[in-house]
Every structure is written in structure tokens, then in C-alpha cells.
Amino acid sequence: METLGFLIDGFGVALAPHNLMFALLGAFLGTLIGALPGLGPANGVAILIPLAFSLGLAPDTAMIMLTAVYAGAMYGGRISSILLNIPGDEPAMMTCLDGYPMAQKGKASEALAISAIASFIGSLVATLGLILLAPVLADFALTFGPAEYFALFMLAFATLGGITGKNPIKTVVAACIGLMIATVGIDSTGVQRYTFGVLELYEGVDFIIAIVGLFAISELLFFIEAQAGGGKESIAVNKMTLSWKDIRDILPTSLRGGVLGFVAGVLPGAGASLGSFISYTLEKRILGRKGNFGEGDPRGVAAPEAGNNGASSGALVPMLTLGVPGSGTTAVLLALLISLNITPGPLMFTQNADIVWGVIAALLIGNFLLLLLNIPLVGIFVKLLSVPPMYLLPIVTMVAFVGIYSISNTTFDLYFMVAFGVAGYVLRKLEIPLVPVILGLLLGPEMEKNLRHALDISDGDWMVLWGSGLAIGLWVFAALGLILPYILGPLLRMRMQSSSDQSD
């Protein structure tokens, strides 16, 4: 009953006219960003964070808008998958397998509608799971001491690459780069570290500047590099003839996909790609010869969409309750919370309950808004796919620069942001992932603080880090997180590639 009371209060926050307006704006922009191949939700949220600061949004409004962007981008990724056979982001790859064949058969509208409905169901199931699980996990996290939190952060880094990661070594390198950047500034004992006499570095590196530079500016550089490349012509959208029977047929598939996706999202390092893959694979096995997978089966569209949207909501559980992001996009949202002087974790459910439950209620409302946006307005998003980057680049650049300048009103931050953008471009060229860099930068200070605290309590005895059953359990899971990518990763990627090849 207490949870229900908090949720009702959350609806009071989410249904405030200005919050509702920004949720709608975020849902629209998120769908647009998700539809553009290559951008993805993490880049979309990173690009729009400066907008939230430049508009001077309150913490609850900023989180509601950017969470809506996150959800909208997960919805939007299916559009280019179905019409262009180009995934909007990695989780949408499985949607290509049956979505594009449906479009080739003249059923593009049906494929888009089915994917929107499945995304709605998957996200709704996962949001209900978030409502039930988050308070329980938050209460459990209150039993954590500094040693347990240090082990938890190690678990987050160990599972960062996930079993879908391509190169665990590069993931570790990226995390180390982030941790190194996190040491810049004055530490808790008053000692200057790597400031080189630059006054602006005394307080450390600002998360938002690093994120906008690494994600948004590096993406702009990639756009510029690819400017000479030609676009792929999309398939025309026909008049929709979807019946209630078609919706009933995909309902069990979508429910199963939502549950599997939620579980994948809650697990650190698993994420939406795994949620999409296991949902599609399970559905294919359940239906067997009754299905027509790889040739335009509607259930082959519904399963991965429900899975990846369920995972996106599930990834919010560890971020809100433990302060550990469950995905790349939630790492960006975590940075926003920290920059707003809000500490994610179990105490957030008591100290900032209005924000937590406002965001959860906004997720429920946002799902209905996204369903309403994505079925009647899909033609607009399809047309926006043909907008050349030369028109998008100036807008994105303006938002990034104005937003960053509005935070501190100093040109140093603008130069710093560009420097991070160049560094992000180089790292991406070397195929070194950016999310571990951000996670190292975000969790580094808290990780160091908990390590110092644990050693202070134990008079410098390092055995305190393994002093409880909970800490030992976290260390065991961290070790498994380092080992499993080498065993399961190649096998899973091989199966994903084999599913993709069979559909060609």
C-alpha cells in the first residue's frame, strides 16, 4: 500500500502541465532520434542534456523529459530497421530479421504498428516490474556498508562489457581511462591531483561536459566524415490494414518478450541487445514450424521490440536503487542526477521520492503518449529519415554549445567539450567503447570514497573488503562477469550473426 501511495504522488508530479508537456516533447524527440540510424538512445539523451540546462528545468522535469527521450529512442529504433533494413541502434538489429521482409511484401505499415504495440506492451510490463522491484531492492541496499558498495562498483565494471561486448580488454581499457579522469581535481584530503595549475580543474572534470563531448560532439564528427556517403532509399509506407486478430496474435509474444527484456535489463551488463535476442530466440523455439521467422512473421517483429523496450525500463532499476547504471543510456541519466546534486541509490527513495516516483509515473504515461505518437504520426518520422545531415548538424551543434555554456558561462568548458569530442572520435575509431569511460568518470569518486571509508574503519586492513558474505557474493559475481564474456560472448554473437544471415 505504501508503494501505491508513492505512485499516486508520482502521478501528481508527472501530470503537472509543464511536466506533461516536456514528457510529450521528449517522447517526440526521442522517437525522431531513435529513427535516425546510428544515433541511438545514449547519444540522444547526451545531445539533449544541455537543452535541459539551458531551459533551466527543475530536476524532476529534466529527468522526466530525458527519460521520455530514452523511451522514445527505443521505440524509434524500429523505424529504420523496418523501412531501410538498417538498425537505429544495436538492440533493433533483431527487428530487421522479420520487419524488413514484411515491408518488402507491402506490409510496412502493419510492421510499424505491430512493433509500436509490442514496444508499448513490453515497456508497460517492465515498468510494472520496476514499480514492484525497485522499492524492495532499495530497502535491501540500505544494508550495504562501504566494503559492499566498493564490491558493487567492481561488479558494475566487471559486467560492463556484457556478454554481447566485442572486446572485453578494450572495455577494461576504457574503464581505466574513465577512472584516471575521475582522479583529476582536489581529493578528500586536500591534495591536488593532475590539475597542472589550471584553476578550472580544481573541482574535477564535469560529467556533463565529458558526456556531451564524448557522445554528441564525436557523433557530429562521424556525421561530417560520412557526409559524402549516400543514403539508402526507404520503402514506401502503405495504408494500414491491421486487424484486432493480428493484435491478439502478438499479445502472448509481447508479454513474454517484456518479461524477458525486464530481467535482461535488471542484470548489469546484459542490456537491451540481450533482451531483444533472447526474446526473439525463445519465440522462435516456442512456435517452431508454426512460425515463419525470417520471412516476415509479425511475431518476429513483436518479440525483439518487446524485449528491448522491456530491457530499457529494467535498466532503470539498478540505476535508481543502487546508483549503478544498467545500460549506456542510464549511465548518461546517472550523470544528470549527479550534476543536479541528487545522489542515486536507496536513500533517493526517501530523500527525493518525488523525483523517483514522478519519473516512474511519467514512464507509464509516456508509454501511452508514445503509442499515440508512433501509430498515427509514423509518416512524419519516416519523412524525417530523408533529412540530410547537413541540416541536422547545425541544430545539434547549437544545442550542445548553448547548453554547455549556460551551465558555467565560461568558454573553457566549450574548449574542454570539443577536446572530449575529438578524444571520443579517436576512441571510437579504435573501437574502444565510450560508455565504460563515462562509468569510470561517474563511479570513480564514489568508489574511492567507499574504499577510503572501509580502510579507515578497519585501520587499513584490506581484508575488510571480503569481510561479509554479501561482499564475497558480489566479488564472486564480479569474477564471473569478467570470465563469462570470453565464454558466452563469441557464442552469442555467432548466433546473432547466424540469425541475421539466415534472413538475408
C-alpha cell at 99: 520487419
Domain that holds residue 202: 1-228+242-493
Helix (H) or strand (E) holding 424: helix 411-429
Task: Give dist(CA 102, CA 434) in Å, integer.
Answer: 34
**Predicted confidence (pLDDT) per residue in 381-400, tens digit:** 666 666 666 676 677 777 77
| pLDDT reported for residue 208 | 81
In a domain, 398, yes or no: yes
In a domain, 123, yes or no: yes
In a domain, 237, yes or no: no
Q: Among residues of the chain, what percentage have pLDDT more than 70?
A: 84
In a domain, 504, yes or no: no
| pLDDT reported for residue 420 | 93
CA-based nearest residue to 30, from 82, 89, 81:
89
Q: Is the model's pLDDT at 369 over the cut of 80? A: yes
Task: Give dist(CA 316, CA 399) in Å, integer.
Answer: 26
CA-based nearest residue to 442, from 233, 160, 81:
160
Q: Is the model's pLDDT at 245 over the cut of 70? A: yes
* Rounded mean pLDDT, 335-346: 83
**Predicted confidence (pLDDT) per residue in 288-329, tens digit:** 667 777 778 888 889 989 988 898 888 888 888 888 877 778
Q: Within 10 A of 487 (CB to CB), how many other CB atoms are there? A: 11
* Rounded mean pLDDT, 203-231: 76
Q: Among residues of the chain, what percentage have pLDDT more than 90?
A: 12
| pLDDT reported for residue 100 | 84
Q: Is the model's pLDDT at 164 over the cut of 50? A: no
Helix (H) and strand (E) counts for the chain? 22, 2
When the pLDDT of each residue in the chain is averaged and rounded to a whole number, the result is 81
Q: Which residues pair with 343 in a beta bridge?
A: none
In a domain, 233, yes or no: no
Task: Give dist(CA 151, CA 488) in Å, integer.
Answer: 23
C-alpha cell at 186: 582536489
| pLDDT reported for residue 227 | 60
Concatenating the DSSP letter of every residue in 326-393 gives: SSHHHHHHHHHHHHTT---STTHHHHSHHHHHHHHHHHHHHHHHHHHHHTTTHHHHHHHTTS-HHHHH
Q: Is the model's pLDDT at 490 over the cut of 70? A: no
**Predicted confidence (pLDDT) per residue in 71-125, tens digit:** 888 888 778 778 777 666 666 778 888 888 888 888 888 888 888 899 999 999 9
CB-count burial class (<10 Å; 0-12, 13-18, 19+) for 504: exposed
Ramachandran area for residue 38 (φ above 0: left; ψ -120 to 50: alpha; else beta): left
Residue 151's φ and ψ, nearest 5 degrees, are: -65, -35
| pLDDT reported for residue 162 | 52
Number of Cα atoms under 13 Å in the Cβ half of residue 252: 6
User: Which residue is it, cell 526474446?
Assistant: 279
Q: Is the model's pLDDT at 480 over the cut of 90? A: no
Q: How many domains does the chain have?
A: 1
pTM: 0.78
Which tops the pLDDT comparison, 377 or 454?
454
Residue type, 478: A
In a domain, 203, yes or no: yes
Task: Give dist(CA 491, CA 259) in Å, integer.
Answer: 23
In a domain, 195, yes or no: yes
In a domain, 142, yes or no: yes
Give the range with max mean pLDDT: 10-24, 289-303, 395-409: 10-24
- Using DSSP's 3-state secondary structure scheme, residue 192 falls into strand
* Rounded mean pLDDT, 221-227: 73
Which tops the pLDDT comparison, 422 or 410?
422
Which tops the pLDDT comparison, 39 or 16?
16
| pLDDT reported for residue 177 | 92
